[in-house]
Amino acid sequence: MIELEKIKDKLLSKGMDDVVIHFSCQEGVQIKFVNNKVVKTGSELTESVSVFVAKDKKIAMTSLNDLSDAAINKAIRSF
């Protein structure tokens, strides 16, 4: 799992007045039936992060589905 504390610290060090980070993790399961028999199963785990920041009475928000270091750093630079 990514380190949300690092994201918060990086944003606060950029001078943000307030930072809110929402982490979401969902699991989905799929089952395929043919003639009342299970023929295929699968599962998927999806993680995402939403980041809200405030600076000088301006608010910005972004959501990330790609939680790689490069994607997180790109999002932080955009603020």
Three-state secondary structure call for residue 55? strand
Q: Report CA torsion sign: 11, 16, 19, 21.
A: negative
Strands 37-55 and 58-64: antiparallel
What does the pLDDT look like over 31-71, one tens digit per residue? 999 999 999 999 999 999 999 999 999 999 999 998 888 98
The pLDDT of residue 72 is: 87
Check: pTM over 0.75? Answer yes or no.
no
Residue 1 has pLDDT above 60, yes or no: no
